Amino acid sequence: MLKVLKLVTCIIKPSFIFMMALLTNSISAQDTIIHAWDGFILRSPYSNPFLSEMHSTLCKVELGYNKSYSEFDLLEEKTKFDRPMVELHVGFEAPIYAFGYGTKGSNRKWGFGLRLPLSVHVLEDMWGPETAPVINTDYRFGGPRMVAIRAISENRFIKNISFSWLTLFHECTHLGDEIVIYRMDENFPITRINVSYEFSEFQFTLNDPIKSDINYHSFRLGFLYRISNRGLGWFSVRKDVELTQELNIPATKFRSEYYAEYQFQRAKGFMANKRFVNVLSFEARNRVRYGYPIFKKVNGVWETKEIKEAMQLNFNFYFGYRFHPRLESCQSIGLFFHAYRGLNPYGQLRNYPSYPFLGLSLTYEP
């Protein structure tokens, strides 16, 4: 009888251990699956736009002076700052999925996520009696944006490295209706250029500025490649309804633009803390100047100035403060000085060089 009990024990003991191990692994796998499901509709806190990124998904209301053109103020073109203008930027990146670094309860040094970006950018002339307020509106949407990050805690200077790939993005732009009507009434040679295209964008960031409670030097390189090739490339024009005279508008040759960005946020030191963060942000972007002519009315006749398509450097600069509330669930607002010099960044006005903007920017950031 004793031998039988020993035999049964020898059989049951390893079987019990095996079953407990199997059950533990099963519970651990279920926990992993549950944690993975927790990542849906969760936002990754990294790979956000730098403040100086042109046409980003950040929300901004900007008031400043720029140079006006006969294209939209219906007067002679000015050679210096003429009157105040308003720029409105409204956007967001809808979260799809996030896992790992930066998510609640995670201690991983790496992470990835998916987001759907959308933004609208409006140029308004609120004080010009000769024109309607809305000059141009740019719409941008698509995705998904795939982001990833790797934290490097043991390095003194490099805190993290992040990547972003905006797989497919669409931009379309529209002149204000009253401006188009004016052009038709005045027999303007080009009543409208349809700037509309799809592109893919890549970003590499060193020291992604995630946290607001430490000082950060952040660097970003970006590359944008136009995928679509309909019409004349970046734009199209219908000769039967959008041209009032015979013009030769060549197809675009360039398909890409690239940029470098630097951002410094200071949460410690003179006149700065984690709720009162000092931010300096700068972008240099090489983008395409569209190659269709511009016009000026002289003695009742529209004179034509031919424009050659070329790459041109553009500079965007912000300096000011971002204010963080006590509750982490609330969003931050900022007040910044904004200076820009380069191509007019709006719609079909992107064939105008040496466009300046100088003013104040009120921002709202997630």
Give the pLDDT confidence score for residue 36 in this predicted structure. 65
Give the pLDDT confidence score for residue 9 in this predicted structure. 47
**Domains in the chain: how many in total?**
1
Dist. CA 179–CA 193, nearest whole Å: 12
CATH number, domain with residue 174: 2.40.230
Tell whether 112 is covered by a domain: yes
Tell whether 14 is covered by a domain: no
Give the pLDDT confidence score for residue 53 in this predicted structure. 95
Tell whether 85 is covered by a domain: yes
* Helix (H) and strand (E) counts in the chain: 4, 16
Tell whether 159 is covered by a domain: yes
Give the pLDDT confidence score for residue 22 in this predicted structure. 40
Tell whether 17 is covered by a domain: no
Give the pLDDT confidence score for residue 365 in this predicted structure. 84
Tell whether 29 is covered by a domain: no
Task: Identify residue 75 by its one-letter amino acid code.
Answer: L
Tell whether 33 is covered by a domain: no
What's the CA angle centered on 207, arms 202 and 213, to 5 degrees?
130
Domain that holds residue 217: 43-365
Phi, psi of 353 (to 5 degrees): -90, 175
Dist. CA 347–CA 358, nearest whole Å: 20
Mean pLDDT (10-residue bins), the chain, 366 residues: 46 45 46 64 89 94 80 53 83 92 78 94 78 82 93 82 96 86 84 92 93 85 95 90 85 95 92 90 96 83 87 97 79 94 89 89 90
Give the pLDDT confidence score for residue 128 in this predicted structure. 65
